[in-house]
Amino acid sequence: MKVNIKHWHGVAYWRWDTGKDRSDGEDEDDVCGICRVPYEGCCPSCKVPGDDCPLIWGECSHVFHMHCLLKWIGTPSSKQQCPMDRRPWVTAETKVDGSVPAVASRS
């Protein structure tokens, strides 16, 4: 039997790899700590999610939409600190393959 496909409609699903373990079923950590929109969505400043609305990691291991963080850092009340733990904001360096290195806990 020969089958001819006359129409095909592909569907895809993507998600940012934030390095968090999703095996526990908790999705609470999958939202931006500033705007509270899921990482797969886009920040309030953007219209389309994806590469035009990237994520940014801090050395403190917190993740935000880049535009949300830049807006936050631009306010005088931020004092250039992470909005989650109030440590001085330092952007984590990325590896050659584009992944963010694991950050050791500070004691």
- The token duo for 70 is 């830049």
Domain around 54: 28-78
Rounded to the nearest angstrom, the gap between the alpha carbon of residue 105 and the centroid of all alpha carbons in its chain is 20
The radius of gyration of the chain from alpha carbons, rounded to an integer in Å, stands at 18
In a domain, 104, yes or no: no
pLDDT tops 70 at residue 90: yes
In a domain, 55, yes or no: yes
In a domain, 17, yes or no: no
| 14 contact partners, CB below 8 Å, separation of at least 6 | 40, 50
In a domain, 92, yes or no: no
Domain total of the chain: 1
In a domain, 87, yes or no: no
Q: Convert the pLDDT of each residue in 24-57 to its tens digit.
A: 555 456 888 899 888 888 888 888 777 788 888 8
Q: CATH number of the domain that 47 lies in?
A: 3.30.40.10
The count of other CB atoms within 10 Å of the CB of residue 67 is 20
In a domain, 7, yes or no: no
